[in-house]
Amino acid sequence: MDIHEYQAKELLSRYHIHIPRGGLAYSPEQAAYRASEIGGDRWVVKAQIHSGARGKAGGIKLCSSDHEIVAAADAMLGAKLVTHQTGAQGKLVSRLYVEEAMDIEREIYLGFVLDRKSERIMIVASSSGGMEIEEIAEAEPDSIIRATVDPGVGMQDFQAREIAFGLGIDNALIGRATQTLMGCYRAFVDYDAAMLEINPLVVTRRGDLVALDAKMSFDENALFRRPHIAEMRDKSQEDPRETYASDRGLSYVGLDGNIGCIINGAGLAMATMDMIKIAGGEPANFLDIGGGASPDRVAKSFRAVLHDKNVETILVNIFAGINRCDWVAEGVIKALKEVGVPVPLVVRLSGTNMEEGRRILAESGENIIVAETLAEAADKAVAAWRSFTAGKAA
């Protein structure tokens, strides 16, 4: 789960990490009022969306008067900001963050992430801030510092000091840099974060270290014990298909194709999507119904897949171990009768109670295309999709 910049800054400020003074605004007039509360003669108006590269897309504006603030806020609010991370559909701007402008002397990149290979928290830092880490890695790979934290003892002050010295931070700011790094680590652990990024972390001309931007994402499996973090969720920034599915306990990732997939097991789901591609089709989603899929859960899966209006064929591919093919077959029939499936349906069942599942499908009287192997299922799904789209065109 991602949160907005202003929310991440609020969390980090609790760990003595310096952030610019700022305030949230939902209208141009409120944005101007926030600037008057902050004071000074220069402010930054920032669109709050779950995406990086906002500045390149016009989502960050430096202003020096009320008129400029109102104009910038008016242009952003209600618009869809398109960045290379959002895709062509963009993301709706419904709130702004207005903060004081800083006199920047230099910019630093700082990130904390869970490294699956080492199974530890990894700190990634670079003296070249202000760019995305991928750009830094390509343009200045030698500037990147990496360090991992032993989970048995946690991050130590000496590690933070080593990173600070490696970044070339002035001796007078080493203490502040150490405090910032340790604060980030504690916030990462305390909130069950999956990623924490400050980009840029700036050294100001006044000799302070300030988090000018901040981004955090969290382990959704731990949100049950972090209700105050779960409350920060902004569903308007999420793929509505994924939101619909996750609210119903389904593991779903939306894609750009037309063949909807209902599958059990992540490995089988990946293999199925590959086979659809090989057969000449495009998968519309990744949906793993998990183990112990009851008929009700299967019906929910159909609703989630059909929530995507681009779906023109559905492929159900089940290899039953914990699951049972007869349960899945009952769920398919339930979905056909209760949900209504207006597109071709291909079903492949294999494993526990396979014969019973296939019997239920055969005796249902429903228009179901049955396949025995994964390759056959993919081929039949693509053929059914092509036939369906040809019929629509005609």
pLDDT at 202: 96
Return the beta strands (E) in 130-283 as ranges: 144-149, 193-204, 209-211, 215-218, 251-254, 259-263
All CATH 3.30.470.20 domain ranges of the chain, comma separated, are 104-230
> For residue 6, what are its two tokens?
């202003």
Query: CA-to-CA distance for 180 and 199, rounded, in angstroms?
Result: 13
All CATH 3.30.1490.20 domain ranges of the chain, comma separated, are 21-100
Positions of the chain with pLDDT lower than 70, given as ranges = 291-293
Give the catalytic positions in this structure. 109, 197
pLDDT at 291: 66
> pTM of whole model > 0.85?
no
pLDDT at 292: 63
Question: In sequence order, what are the residues at sequence separation of 6 or more whose Cβ sits closer than 8 angstroms to the Cβ of residue 205?
Answer: 103, 104, 105
37 a known binding residue? no
pLDDT at 109: 94
Residue 217 identity: S
Fold of 240-387: Rossmann fold (3.40.50)
CATH 3.30.470.20 is right for the domain spanning 104-230? yes
All CATH 3.40.50.261 domain ranges of the chain, comma separated, are 240-387
107 a known binding residue? yes
Class (C level, CATH) for 21-100: alpha beta
Query: CA-to-CA distance for 326 and 341, rounded, in angstroms?
Result: 19
pLDDT at 296: 81
199 a known binding residue? yes
pLDDT at 293: 66
Helices 66-76 and 28-38 cross at an angle (nearest 10°) of 140
102 a known binding residue? yes
Task: Give yes or no for a contact between 60 and 47, defined as CB atoms under 8 angstroms apart.
Answer: yes
